[in-house]
Amino acid sequence: MRIDIFTIFPDLIEGFSDQSLLGRARRCGLLDIRAHDLRSHTTDPHRSVDDSPFGGGAGMVLMPEPIFACVESVDPPRPLFLLGPGGRRFDQDMARELAGGEGFSLLCGRYEGVDARVAEHLVDGELSVGDYVLNGGEVAAMVVLEAVGRLVPGVMGNHTSGDDESFSDGLLEYPQYTRPARFRSWDVPEVLRSGDHARVARWRRAQALRRTMDRRPDLIEQRGGLTPDEQRVLDEFPTGPELAADQNGV
C-alpha cells in the first residue's frame, strides 16, 4: 500500500514511519510511505509556504501554489484528504476502509489554516481525528498512518491480532493479564487460568460488554442495545474481573 503525506515537516513523518511495525512494514515492502516537503515547490528565496489572509485576521494561511505544485508533481494515490477539524471523523471503520484499498494521501495543514481553494479544487475530502486543535496536521497524519498501516495484511504478522481489539466489533477491548499470576495482592482471574477456552471466550465477551457499558455507553446505543445472547453472557459473569477474582478465592 502506498501512502503519501504532504507537509512542511517531512522529517517528523519519516522518523515516525521508520519505527516499530510501520518501519518493519516499510522495510519489507508492505507499506510505501512517502513524505513530501511542500517547501520544495516554493519559488522565492525564503521558501515561503504561507501568507497573511485576505480580509485581515490573526496568523498566516498556507498558500495554494506550493500545495498544488507539490501534489501535482507526484500524482499521489487517491483519495487525498486534508487533515482538519471540519472533516469526516476518523474512526476504526474508516481505518478498515482505507486499509482495504490500494493507497491514499494526506495533506497536513499548519498555521491558521489552508487556502480554501485547496479544499475546493484539489483534495477529495477532509478528515478529522477529533474535536480539538493541533498546531498542524502531522500528529493527525501519524494517527491515521498507525491505525491504517497496522491493518494492512502482513503488517501485524498474526492476521488475527486485530480481531478482538477495541472498536473491532463496536466494543472496547476486554482486560488483559500476563505473568505473574499474583502481583502484590492482585490476582489474575481464575477463569483465565482454567484452560477452558470456551469459558474464557465468554468471560472476555462479558468484560468487553461491561467495560463498554461503563465507559462508552454511546457505543452500546449505536449498536442498538444488547442482544439476548449478550445479556446471557453478562448474567453468566455478573461481576467485573477484580470481584470475580476475589469471589473465586484466587
Q: In whole angstroms, how far apart are CA 190 and each of 96, 114, 194?
A: 35, 56, 6
- Tens digits of residue pLDDT in 18-35: 999 999 999 999 999 999
Predicted TM-score (pTM) of this structure = 0.86
**Per-residue model confidence (pLDDT) at position 247:** 42
- Length of the chain (residues): 250
- Tens digits of residue pLDDT in 117-162: 999 999 999 999 999 989 999 999 999 999 999 999 999 976 555 5
How many whole angstroms separate alpha carbon 63 and alpha carbon 50? 5
User: By three-state DSSP, how is residue 150 classified?
Assistant: coil
**CA-CA-CA-CA dihedral for 76, 78, 79, 81, to nearest 10:** 0
- Tens digits of residue pLDDT in 226-236: 999 999 999 99
**Per-residue model confidence (pLDDT) at position 250:** 36
Select from 178, 176, 173 the least CA-distant residue to 205.
173
Q: Which domains does the chain have, with CATH numbers?
A: 2-149 (3.40.1280.10), 182-247 (no CATH)
Cα diameter, the chain: 74
Residue 58's pLDDT band (cuts 50, 70, 90): confident
